[in-house]
Amino acid sequence: MLVFESMAKPLLFAHFISGVIILATLVHLIWRAVDYLRGRAGQRLNVWLHAVVLAIGYAVCFVTGAMVYPTFRVRVRADHFDQAIPWATGLFETKEHWASLGLPAVLGVLLLASVLARTEADDRRRVLPLLLGLAVISLGIVGYNVWAGWYLTTLHGI
Amino acid sequence: MNRADYLLLISAAVALTFSAAYYFQPPAPRYYPVEHAWKMEHEKGVPSMGWYGRTAWGLAAGTAAGALTALGLLAVPRDANGHPRRLPAWLGTSLSLLVLVVLVALAAQIMHHEFHKWGTYQPWQLPGS
């Protein structure tokens, strides 16, 4: 029995649901940040709220993914993907590394969104380019990871 | 230091240091899930996982850089009028751009490396098709 193998399916479900939640949160966060840039000042607090939801959701998604990984590594990747469809391993390896790269990006979104919530208008403008850039990178990472996770599960579940 | 610049510099320090540690991959233990063991060696033919160690290095380096930057910036004195100092606008913009370029470049490098290594650029054929 592998570590966390007995809980792998519920963990995978929580991993998927939290992935979908952070994907939706990122779309809304970017939408509201762009709205704020276009002059709707009230959106700044919504950006902060979405950044908090994003950070919590990303932490849940990351930890549940890390817990499922040993089961996936042995029962799916080693036993099936590496032998029969190695191109699928390439999709998965990219997914796991991009998930790690999302950590500093999401932390940056959270820190910079706190500037929107608590400082003067001039200061808020200074952090918006990096905030939006990190949010777009996070959206790319999460979008790919949700798609790859879903697609790989259709090929072979745990 | 002005609050916006303070958080921008910490975010940049974390992202750049995490990326550097992730790219250069300092030696880290690998997890062997079948044996429930951690080893420094990479044994071929046995399922093992280097991702935990690589991510831990990135997190440790990023956290250390963020904490050192935060502490260092607290020591920056206020200007002659008693206001918090501000980062020159060109420097904030350049740093933001650098962070974004580094993250995108590292993501592209990782994807190319893995797709090339595992044949993901080739047509995706399923067994029996």
Tens digit of each residue's pLDDT (9 = 90 or more) over A105-153: 999 999 999 998 877 777 888 899 999 999 999 999 999 999 999 999 9
pLDDT at B109: 98
Q: Are B99 and B15 in contact (CB under 8 A)?
A: yes
pLDDT at B36: 97
Which tokens in the block code for residue A75?
Answer: 């029962």
* Yes or no, beta carbons of A74 and B34 under 8 Å apart: yes
pLDDT at A112: 96
> How far apart (Å, rounded) are the C-alpha atoms in residues A38 and B126?
48
Is the model's pLDDT at B75 over the cut of 80? yes
Q: Counting Cβ atoms within 10 Å, is residue B116 exposed (0-12), middle (13-18) or buried (19+)?
A: exposed
pLDDT at A92: 98
Is the model's pLDDT at B5 over the cut of 90? yes
Tens digit of each residue's pLDDT (9 = 90 or more) over B25-72: 999 999 999 999 999 999 999 999 999 999 999 999 999 999 999 999
Which tokens in the block code for residue B36?
Answer: 């429930």
Q: Give the chain A residue whose CA is nearest to the CA of B110.
A: A94
Q: Averaged over A5-18, what is the pLDDT?
A: 97
Alpha helix ranges (H) inside chain B: 3-24, 51-74, 89-118
pLDDT at A121: 77
Phi/psi-derived region of residue B5, left when phi > 0, alpha when psi is between -120 and 50, beta in every other case: alpha
Supply angle C-alpha A112, A115, A117, rounded to 5. 120
Which of the four pLDDT bands, split at 50, 70 and 90, describes residue A88?
very high
Q: Give the chain B residue whose CA is nearest to the CA of A4.
A: B33
In this prediction the pTM is 0.96
Q: At what angle do helices A121-155 and A43-71 cross, to 10 degrees?
A: 30
> How far apart (Å, rounded) are the C-alpha atoms in residues B114 and B106?
12
> How far apart (Å, rounded) are the C-alpha atoms in residues B37 and B52?
13
State the CB neighbour count (10 A cutoff) for residue B9: 20
Tens digit of each residue's pLDDT (9 = 90 or more) over A60-84: 999 999 999 999 999 999 999 999 9
Give, as one character, the DSSP assignment of residue B50.
Answer: -
pLDDT at A43: 85
Is the model's pLDDT at B93 over the cut of 90? yes
Is the model's pLDDT at B23 over the cut of 80? yes
* Yes or no, beta carbons of B99 and A134 under 8 Å apart: yes
pLDDT at B127: 83
> How far apart (Å, rounded) are the C-alpha atoms in residues A32 and A83?
45
In this complex, how many residue pairs, one in chain A and one in chain B, have their CB atoms less than 8 Å apart? 144
Instruction: Find residue B31's DSSP bridge partners.
Output: B38, B49
Q: Does B84 touch chain A (CB under 8 A)?
A: no
Q: Does B106 touch chain A (CB under 8 A)?
A: yes
Which tokens in the block code for residue A144?
Answer: 């790919």
* Yes or no, beta carbons of A104 and B14 under 8 Å apart: yes
Q: Are A68 and B88 in contact (CB under 8 A)?
A: no
Nearest to B14 among A90, A108, A119 (CB): A108
State the CB neighbour count (10 A cutoff) for residue A87: 17
DSSP A57-125: HHHHHHHHHHHHHHHIIIIIIIIIIHHH-HHHHHHHHHHHHHHHHHHHHHHHHHHHHHHHHHS-HHHHH
> How far apart (Å, rounded) are the C-alpha atoms in residues A44 and A49?
9
Which helix (H) or strand (E) segment holds residue B32: the answer is strand B30-32
Distance from CA of B43 to the nearest CA of A (A): 14
All structural domains of chain A, each given as residue ranges with its CATH number in brackets, are 5-155 (1.20.120)
pLDDT at B123: 96
pLDDT at A128: 93
Alpha helix ranges (H) inside B33-88: 51-74
Please state the ipTM of this predicted complex.
0.95
Q: Averaged over B4-24, what is the pLDDT?
A: 97
Distance from CA of B89 to the nearest CA of A (A): 8
Q: Averaged over B111-119, what is the pLDDT?
A: 98
Query: Which of B5, B103, B115 would best serve as a mutation to test chain A binding (most A beta carbons within 10 A)?
Result: B103
* Yes or no, beta carbons of B47 and A137 under 8 Å apart: no
pLDDT at A139: 98
Distance from CA of A150 to the nearest CA of B (A): 16
pLDDT at B128: 76
pLDDT at A142: 98
Distance from CA of A89 to the nearest CA of B (A): 7
Query: Which of A3, A82, A94, A106 would best serve as a mutation to test chain B binding (most B beta carbons within 10 A)?
Result: A94
Which has the closest alpha carbon to B55: A70, A11, A62, A55? A62
